[in-house]
Amino acid sequence: MSRVTDQFAVARQYLAGGVSASTRVNRALGHPLYFDRAAGCRVWDLDGREYYDLCCSHGATLLGHGDPRVRQAVDQALDRGAACSYENELHAEFAQLLCETVPCLERVRFTGSGTEATMHCLRLARAFTGRSRLLKIEGHFHGYHDQVMYSIGTPADRLGEESAPTHHPGSTGIAPGLDQQLVLVPFNRVELLERAFARHGDELAAVICEPVYYNAGCILPDREFLKALRELTAKHGTLLMFDEVLSAFRMGPGCAQEYLQVTPDLCTLGKAVGGGFPLSVFGGRRDIMARLMPEGDCQHSGTYNGHPVAVAAGLAAVTAYKSPGFYDHIHAVAGKLYSGLNEIFTRHHVSAHVQGLGARFGIYFGLGGEAHGYRDAVRHSRPAMLAFIARAIDHGVYFHDYGGGACHHGFCAATTLNDVDDILKRLDAAVGQLAESGAATAAAINAPGSGRPEPVSAR
């Protein structure tokens, strides 16, 4: 008997689907993997099995589980009473640190989740510009509110033409007509971006995009695409909004915008910004943020906004990210892990490769080349990914599956180079088993009935 599977049976009696969030069932296992405790770069399940954690709370625990700096800050906040919905000194102190660290930030506001951050930030963009339409990049993920729940995980056979991507809803229950407020453009397609602005530029309140497309693994923007984004938005009076909920602090303290040397008008920060606690941020230019009440007429509020425990944790975490040598270590671990895993796939003749930047990466099965946008990523083999994850978990390395599609994985700063050696040793054994099964060879992935979606059109 397994306590993990027993717990799932109990949970299903009271929790819808047996989980607190829809994506928490790991489809490679058929159930959630229930964890009893976590420390550093490791987690332990209810049966006492130890795993290296290559999910890291979907990126929220960049420092590692139970980091002593965060724990001390949280303990002090709790000792002070942790009264939420009041202001305290840490709010301004943390806001100042963020404004001094992230290029576009002149003023900020705190929220509780990435979904809330993008929702409020887009409302603010509409209030500031007096416009209603948004330009969204095909496939990019910006949370679970209705106005951006289109073109997320669209099946390959429903993509439509690149010049007119399908407004495929990411869920049932979305009120009809909201998609008419969206203009969709594929990532890294400058000519299609220019065409969209020629047609709709004067109607667009904002362009929202992931500056590094981590939600489909790790896809970097072309320099020319970024240049066009910045120039076209400025020309048409449209606000450029970087959704850095996932990319924040992955590759440097100034986030992706500093790394890419493009400063947006607004941005959102999430996951790592809270040091593992529920916190997100939106902010940007002073004149835009001045439209928020009580200075302006755009509403943003919430009982748990800037919860003192989460703010204390975030302040400790971002201070740690700015410490000397922090990103030298991140990039050393990344280089060794990603090159080592690519070497393992090559040696075992498994059709897969890693794309990564900083502390987050994607694994693509069966593409035969790099992914440059959603239309590449959607061709990735879900069955091969799930088979790999199941074997990795068997060997004590935890990956979350996100349904098996192209997705993001990552490590924390508590991971040492010796840990990477052990992780690669375990993954070598897992990939060896995968190779023996024949499930992830190029021939198997491309075979009829393999479950791999076919591309609608070539890039």
pTM to 2 decimal places:
0.95
Other CB atoms within a 10 A radius of the CB of residue 328 amount to 9
SS3 of 458, please? coil
The answer to whether the 3-65+325-446 and 68-321 domains have the same CATH topology is: no
d(Cα 404, Cα 388) in Å, to the nearest integer? 10
Please say whether the beta carbons of 433 and 55 come within 8 A: no
pLDDT at 33: 87
Digit-coded pLDDT (tens) for 417-437? 999 999 999 999 999 999 998
The domain ranges of the chain are: 3-65+325-446, 68-321
pLDDT at 271: 98
pLDDT at 327: 99
For residue 309, CA distances in Å to 95, 342, 429 come to 15, 40, 42
66: left (phi over 0), alpha (psi -120 to 50) or beta: left
Tokens of 132: 């209603």
pLDDT at 1: 66
pLDDT at 452: 41
Other CB atoms within a 10 A radius of the CB of residue 278 amount to 16
Close Cβ partners of 147 (under 8 Å, ≥ 6 residues apart): 119, 122, 134, 178, 181, 182
For residue 331, CA distances in Å to 191, 319, 409, 415, 419 come to 34, 18, 15, 12, 15
pLDDT at 31: 87
Cα dihedral 3/5/9/15 (nearest 10): 90
**CA-based Rg of the chain, rounded to a whole angstrom?**
22
Q: Which amino acid is at 152?
A: I
**How many Å separate Cα 221 from the centre of its chain?**
15
Helical (H) or strand (E) element with 153: none
CATH 3.40.50.150 at 3-65+325-446, yes or no: no
d(Cα 454, Cα 355) in Å, to the nearest integer? 21
Tokens of 356: 């990564």
First-to-final CA distance of the chain: 49
d(Cα 394, Cα 191) in Å, to the nearest integer? 46
Strands 182-185 and 133-137, sheet pairing: parallel
How many CA atoms does the CB half-sphere of 399 hold within 13 Å? Answer: 31
CA angle 128, 130, 131 (to 5 degrees): 115
The parts of the chain modelled with pLDDT lower than 50 are 448-459
User: Which of 137, 160, 134 has the alpha carbon at shortest distance from 147?
Assistant: 134
d(Cα 424, Cα 335) in Å, to the nearest integer? 13
CATH 3.40.50.2300 at 68-321, yes or no: no
